[in-house]
Amino acid sequence: MSERLQPGDAAPAFALKNADGDEVTLASYQGRKVIVYFYPAALTPGCTKQACDFTDNLTLLADAGYDVVGISPDKPEKLDKFRQKESLSVTLLSDPDKATLTAYGAFGEKTMYGKKVTGVIRSTFVVDEDGRIQNALYNVRATGHVAKLLKDLKIAA
């Protein structure tokens, strides 16, 4: 497992395919704040709840100057199906080789149902306009996470 990121660290660069198969880079958000969240799998109950919560609050976040990007190991085709089935407007990116997940410390050993397993660690990072980590949140809950994030960022719902 890679090191966990801390506030002030440079956000690891990435270039990943979105649900349409187009490449999206962290550098394309330079000058804007971006919330990068990592989730285990599209079309699962917890990940659907989290993606829907981000989608429901996208305007509020955008008005406060934040873009939102969700990253999972799913292939772009599955992300497209997820986006269409759930009417998601959040940007979803594919990291099938888990290089970006690992760079952010969002892939490794975790406890699931009392057992140690290796997988995606549900995590969220707030990256500032200069590409630095503002907040690094590991082992977040799918439900209620967006509301807590809005509160932490002092964005009124």
Does the active-site annotation cover 47? yes
Exposure pattern of 47-65 as b/e (b: 16+ CB <10 Å)? Answer: bbbbbebbbebbeebeeee
Q: Among residues 19, 35, 47, 146, which one is catalytic?
A: 47
- Backbone φ, ψ for residue 55 (5° rounding): -60, -45
Identify each DSSP E strand in 40-80 by its residue range.
66-72
Strands 66-72 and 91-94 come out as parallel
Q: Give the residue numbers annotated as catalytic, written as ranges.
A: 47
